[in-house]
Amino acid sequence: MSKTAQTLIGVGVLGVGALLGAGAIGISSEAGYSGVGPNFLPWLVAAFMALCGGFLLWEARSGGFRAMEEPDGNEHGHWPGFAWVSAGILLNAALITTIGFILSCALCFVLAVRGFKSSDGRLDLSAKAWAIDLAVGILISAPVYWMFTQALAINLPGLTNSGWL
């Protein structure tokens, strides 16, 4: 990888840190639990991204990324896998307020699994594979939903108003 490309990576990470910082400005700073406001974590992430970007930029300009191994993957990306994962993310965003957090995240999981297995050459489109992946997706997303809505009292889109689905 050229020094210019490495420098651009450092500048890009610095830019992401700056954008996160700009987004954190609009978040309320009123102190919540233990004196920490809702803008604490966004500022922490923005600062960490800026620190990483600065380090990457310094590394690129002072001799390049050191001890960098040769890539071991394919020369080109796997577009069908990318399409599966992208569809999962976009459908999750589009359907989360319609079918609720649990089902939309489970659907995202199912489609992402299709994409990753496709890139490994193990794509299985059988009904059994879809059902197993959907069950695993629900088993992952349901406890997350319940933790946020019941334990942390954070509102996430649900299928019902009960807070349990």
Q: What is the pLDDT of residues 66-118, one digit of tens each?
A: 777 777 767 778 899 999 999 999 999 999 888 889 999 999 999 999 999 99
| Amino acid (one-letter) located at 57 | L
Q: In a 10 Å sphere around its CB, with 0-12 CB exposed, 13-18 middle and 19+ buried, how is residue 27 labelled?
A: middle
pLDDT score of 88: 95
Residue 21: per-residue pLDDT: 92
**pLDDT tens digits, 3-39:** 888 899 999 999 999 999 998 888 777 766 666 677 7
Q: Tell me the torsion sign for CA atoms 74, 75, 80, 82.
A: positive
pLDDT over 90 at 64, yes or no: no
Region 58-65 average pLDDT: 87
